[in-house]
Amino acid sequence: MALTRSLNKGGITPSLLQLGLDLLLQTQPHSQSLRRLSSSARNDGSDLQKPCEFLGSWTPPSDPRVAQANLERLRRAYGKQVRQLRKEYAHEVEMLRVEKQMKDDARREAVRIASEERKKAKAAAAQTRAAEREAFLEEFRQTLMKERAEKLEYWRKKEKLNQEKKAEKRELLRKQSSVWVSDHNLESRILEAIVVTTPL
C-alpha cells in the first residue's frame, strides 16, 4: 500500500500500475514479490467510475525494449489524459465558484432591494403622517382664526351698540337741556311765574 501511495503521488494511478505489473509479469519470470505487489495493487480499494481505456489494450511484444517503449508511450498518453481530466476538473470547480458567486450576488441584491423597499415604505409612511399632521394644524389654525373673527365681530357689534346707546342718551339729554333755565335767568323766570299766572 505504501508503494501504491508513493506511485500515486508521482502521477501513476492504480490502473497504470496494474498495466505495468502485467507487462512485467509477461516479459520477466514470475516471482513471489511481483505477485504480492500485483495483488496489493488489485486490492487497493480504489473506486473507479468507469474502466480505464488502457486496461486490456496491451499486446505483449517479444522484444523487451519494444515493450518498454510501448509502456512509455502508454504512460505519456495516460499522463495527457490525467492532465486533461485535471483541466476539466479545474474548469468545473471554477464554474461552481462562479455559480456560487452569482447566487451570493443575487441574494445580496435581493436583500438590498428589500432594504430599499422597506426604507421607501418608511419614508412614505413618515410623509403621510407629516401631511396629516400639517393638515390637522392647518385646520386648527383656521378654526382659531374663525373663532377670533367671530369674537372680533361680536365685539364690534357690541361696541357699536354701546356707541349708539350713548349717542341716544346724549341726544335725549340735549333735548331735555334745551328747556332748562340758565342760572342768570332763573330769578326772572321765577318772578314771571308768580306775577303771570296761568288760568285754570
DSSP string covering 63-87, please? SHHHHHHHHHHHHHHHHHHHHHHHH
* Tens digit of each residue's pLDDT (9 = 90 or more) over 45-62: 555 556 666 566 667 777
Letter string b/e over residues 133-143, b meaning 16 or more CB atoms within 10 A of that residue's CB: eeeeeeeeeee
Do 69 and 152 share a domain, yes or no? yes
Name the strand (E) or helix (H) holding 27: helix 14-27
Do 150 and 83 share a domain, yes or no? yes
Do 52 and 3 share a domain, yes or no? yes
The number of distinct structural domains making up the chain is 2
Last residue of a domain, one of 19, 38, 59: 59
Last residue of a domain, one of 34, 59, 84: 59
CB neighbourhood size of 47 (10 A): 4
Do 122 and 51 share a domain, yes or no? no
Do 38 and 108 share a domain, yes or no? no
In a domain, 190, yes or no: no
**What are the cell numbers at 57?**
489494450
In a domain, 28, yes or no: yes
In a domain, 123, yes or no: yes
* Tens digit of each residue's pLDDT (9 = 90 or more) over 105-162: 999 999 999 999 999 999 999 999 999 999 999 999 999 999 999 999 999 999 999 9
Do 134 and 97 share a domain, yes or no? yes
Do 102 and 44 share a domain, yes or no? no
Residue 19, pLDDT score: 61
Do 95 and 35 share a domain, yes or no? no
In a domain, 89, yes or no: yes
In a domain, 179, yes or no: no
Residue 134, pLDDT score: 95
Do 66 and 150 share a domain, yes or no? yes
Do 75 and 133 share a domain, yes or no? yes
* Residue at 200: amino acid letter: L
Q: Work out the average pLDDT over 1-20.
A: 51
Domain extent, residue 50, equals 1-59
Worst-scoring range by mean pLDDT, 10-19, 124-133, 177-186? 10-19
Last residue of a domain, one of 59, 88, 105: 59
Residue 17, pLDDT score: 54
Do 111 and 91 share a domain, yes or no? yes
Do 65 and 137 share a domain, yes or no? yes
How many angstroms separate the CA atoms of 118 and 126, rounded? 12
The answer to whether the beta carbons of residues 67 and 23 sit under 8 Å apart is yes
